[in-house]
Amino acid sequence: MRDLEVVIMSDLHLGSYGCQPIPIANYLNSINPKMLILNGDIVDIWRFRKNYFPETHIEIINIILKKIKNGTTVYYLTGNHDEALRKFSDFNLENFHLVDKLKIKINGDTYWIFHGDVFDSFNKGWTKLIAKTGKYWI
């Protein structure tokens, strides 16, 4: 297992058919980060209505929970596919933090981390509805 200072992962889309849980689990099981930053779209809440959340996706959550228990600080940053969590932003429990953006110092340098949807005008208003339902029109 590799000891790492910081790992940033995004767009896992747990709960969607496009998720690749086996490589994700293999990677998470191969590292021991001091800090794990989950940078948005970790859970695909847009697809929850399909009632698709297999055991392999739950295993990813269990791996992350085990890392939290073993001392890894985890920041879960919200993205557009898990934006429903934004109403709970700034929630902290021990070394788990649910936030919309993160300003952090690493080795004396300051970094600002956020999911890219904040710059995506397509995910606002009516175009957001098109983005969510567009695949059904094809």
CA distance 62 to 119: 31
What does DSSP assign to residue 95?
T
Q: Over the stretch 30-71, which tens digit does the pLDDT of each residue have?
A: 999 999 999 999 999 887 766 889 999 999 999 999 999 999
Q: List the domain range (segments joined by +) for residue 26.
A: 2-136
How many domains in the chain? 1
For residue 128, which of 136, 117, 113 has the smallest C-alpha distance?
A: 117
103-122 pLDDT tens trace: 999 889 999 999 987 666 55
* Position 79 pLDDT exceeds 60: yes
CATH number at residue 127: 3.60.21
pTM: 0.84
Q: How far is CA 21 from CA 17, 27, 122, in A?
A: 10, 10, 28
